[in-house]
Structure 1
Amino acid sequence: MMLAIMGATGQTGGAALTAALAAGHAVKAIVREPNRAGALADKGAALAKADLDDVGTLTAAFAGTDAVYVLNPVPHAAGDVFAAAAKNGAMIAEAIRRAGVPHVVALSSSGAHRAEGTGIVRALHDFEQALRGAAPSLTFIRATEFMENWGSVLGVAAEHGILPSMRQPLDTAGETVSAIDVGRQAAVELARPHAGERIVNLKGPAEYSPEDAAQALTELLGKPVLAVATPRQEWEPGLIAAGLSASHARELAGLYDAMNAGRASFEEIGETRRGSVSLKQALAGLLA
């Protein structure tokens, strides 16, 4: 099979590319700057330049493939995250139609079946709506929260022994999955064309709490790490200070509100899969 993979220099796309090549598929890595993606070519992937705001380059990148992995990352600096994501989603869907892609695998999220009340996940609800009907075979991978999201506060944990958390209560375990497992599942689904629409709910090997993450870091760092709840009023200012737009910060905070309240859970339809990467393994990879 000839597969095309968006986000091949990122976490899930990179893992999907590695898994697809290992399975013997021909892979086209869709990147914005091919001259900075030499490592992908070294692995055996062909490189295709495309931009989300250029339906022509996207169409050319998708053309001639048996299946495409697509994702719609929300721009960090967007003044209106939903408008920006909707524009990108429409471009991707149109390119799929123009290229006549027979099978599409799209990265989505738990909670994407809800049109509101899930913060930034609403952008993925809209993405699913945009893609419906664009290809005769369509698979949505609705993944739970990524274990790698802890990466933004690992420096604080390593230096100060504190793990700030917007996931609360701190002792409440919830679903989380490694981006590596998401990419591996994407590679599996790319080779599973079908008629119509399929939903795959992807979880990690177990549920973990913020206190579990702190304990794993205690073992990995060889020093005590304590999970600490970040007060709600500090979420958005902290996210803006980290480089997000006010719109992005507001909706990301809204997602954590939804997760803490149980509104970002999986819809009880589709297939359910569990990955194999543990939280400790994912954290060890980030520290490395």
Structure 2
Amino acid sequence: MFVIFGASGKVGRTSAAELRRAGQPVRAVVRNAAQGEPLARIGCEIVLGDLTDGASVSRALDGAHSVQMLCPVPRGEAAPAEAMRRMIDTAAQVLRVYPDLHVVALSDYGAELDANTGITMLFHHLEARFKEAVRHLTLLRSSEHMQNWARVVPVALATGVLPSLHHPVDRKFPMVSAHDVGVVASQVLLDRNTGNTARVVSVESNQRYSPNDVAEALSEAINRDVIAQALPRDQWAPALLRAGLATNHAQLITDLYDATNAGRIDVEAGIGERRFGATTLREAIAALVPALGTH
């Protein structure tokens, strides 16, 4: 049995669908029954679970041989870093009880760094805790998801200006479609790591893109000119707070983009395996526009 935590998310849904297409049994772990309905339609067993509740994690793992673990940064928490660390620690404590389980843990580019990377520091904590707790471990590190641009596409549609925390706007950086991360996750789940050393797999698109490229793809999708503009550093926190993030969450993102713009966040050179997604930026951005209900 393959168990997918976060199965209702973009990556998890794709992983579950790919495994079902391969004829594999899948248990989809979701927070509520409504999230499970589309997964049940493709033949997944649905289990309600919560990574902050060790007992529910244990129930979801009953009878499993492989599991995909997603520990997301919680939105709406006053102290999101502490909340995510508790989630990671709870998961690691439960996983320790299942020594034969193959665990594919979703991580981030830059997770090898141990200081001053904002959100990515939480994935450093995840990798460290899971390495201690899990014998058969695959760390799937992905670059920034193309779908993250959905947060600012409405601003671009309203103003013709795509605000970017990536500076400068002509510098290319690694991105990947969440769909492609899910495809690679399903592949490494099927290709079970039976060794006692953590396997590191990094995934990004088969080419790199800049914010200017994102603006060009959006212009093409809506048949209207959009330009990318670097949002001044002193406007980052106010913009993130207006978007509904708590102060501490906004600081995590600010620290992340400071590290990214300094060139510190990238694939770890010479470590593990590299995979490349086939989805182009134009395809991903074109899919965002109707999904956001925009024209």
TM-score w.r.t. length of structure 2 = 0.94
Equivalent pair of 1:240/1:246 in contact (CA under 8 Å)? yes
The question of 1:124 aligning with 2:123 is answered yes
Q: How does 1:121-270 map to 2 (within 5 A)?
A: 121-194=120-193, 195=195, 196-268=197-269, 269-270=271-272
Residue type of the alignment partner of 1:170: V
Aligned to 1:6: 5
Deviations 1:136-167 (A, max 9, x none): 21000111111111000111222221111111
Helix, strand or coil for the counterpart of 1:76?
A: coil
Aligned to 1:17: 16
Among candidates 272, 282, 285, match of residue 284 of structure 2: 282
Helix, strand or coil for the counterpart of 1:114?
A: coil
Which stretch shows the higher mean deviation, 72-81 or 244-253?
Answer: 72-81
Equivalent pair of 2:99/2:135 in contact (CA under 8 Å)? no
CA distance in 1: counterparts of 2:158 and 2:100, whole angstroms: 48
Aligned to 2:29: 30
Aligned to 2:293: none
CA distance in 1: counterparts of 2:101 and 2:36, whole angstroms: 27
Equivalent pair of 2:115/2:121 in contact (CA under 8 Å)? yes
Measure how far apart 1:267 and its partner are.
1.5
Helix, strand or coil for the counterpart of 2:105?
A: strand
Measure how far apart 1:36 and its partner are.
3.8
Helix, strand or coil for the counterpart of 2:191?
A: coil
The question of 1:68 aligning with 2:70 is answered no
- Equivalent pairs counted in the alignment come to 287
Equivalent pair of 1:60/1:99 in contact (CA under 8 Å)? no
Helix, strand or coil for the counterpart of 1:141?
A: strand
Residue type of the alignment partner of 1:267: E
Deviations 1:202-252 (A, max 9, x none): 111200000001111111100001111111111111111211111110011
| Structure 1 runs (4+) greater than 4 angstroms displaced | none
Measure how far apart 1:15 and its partner are.
1.2
Helix, strand or coil for the counterpart of 1:234?
A: helix
Measure how far apart 1:118 and its partner are.
1.2
CA distance in 1: counterparts of 2:77 and 2:129, whole angstroms: 20
CA distance in 1: counterparts of 2:109 and 2:213, whole angstroms: 21
CA distance in 1: counterparts of 2:162 and 2:100, whole angstroms: 44
CA distance in 2: counterparts of 1:176 and 1:16, whole angstroms: 19
Structure 1 residues 217, 235: closer, same or farther in 2, change over 3 A?
same
Aligned to 2:51: 52
Equivalent pair of 1:202/1:273 in contact (CA under 8 Å)? yes
Measure how far apart 1:18 and its partner are.
1.2
Which stretch shows the higher mean deviation, 36-45 or 211-220?
Answer: 36-45
Structure 1 residues 261, 22: closer, same or farther in 2, change over 3 A?
same
Equivalent pair of 1:76/1:243 in contact (CA under 8 Å)? no
Measure how far apart 1:13 and its partner are.
0.8
CA distance in 1: counterparts of 2:221 and 2:47, whole angstroms: 39
Aligned to 1:109: 108
Q: Name structure 1 gaps, 5 residues minimum.
A: none
Measure how far apart 1:169 and its partner are.
0.4
Q: Name structure 2 gaps, 5 residues minimum.
A: 291-295
Residue type of the alignment partner of 1:225: V
Structure 1 residues 132, 58: closer, same or farther in 2, change over 3 A?
same
Structure 1 residues 58, 183: closer, same or farther in 2, change over 3 A?
same
TM-score w.r.t. length of structure 1 = 0.96
Equivalent pair of 2:8/2:35 in contact (CA under 8 Å)? no
Cα RMSD between the aligned structures?
1.2
CA distance in 2: counterparts of 1:101 and 1:221, whole angstroms: 50
Measure how far apart 1:12 and its partner are.
0.9
CA distance in 2: counterparts of 1:136 and 1:102, whole angstroms: 8
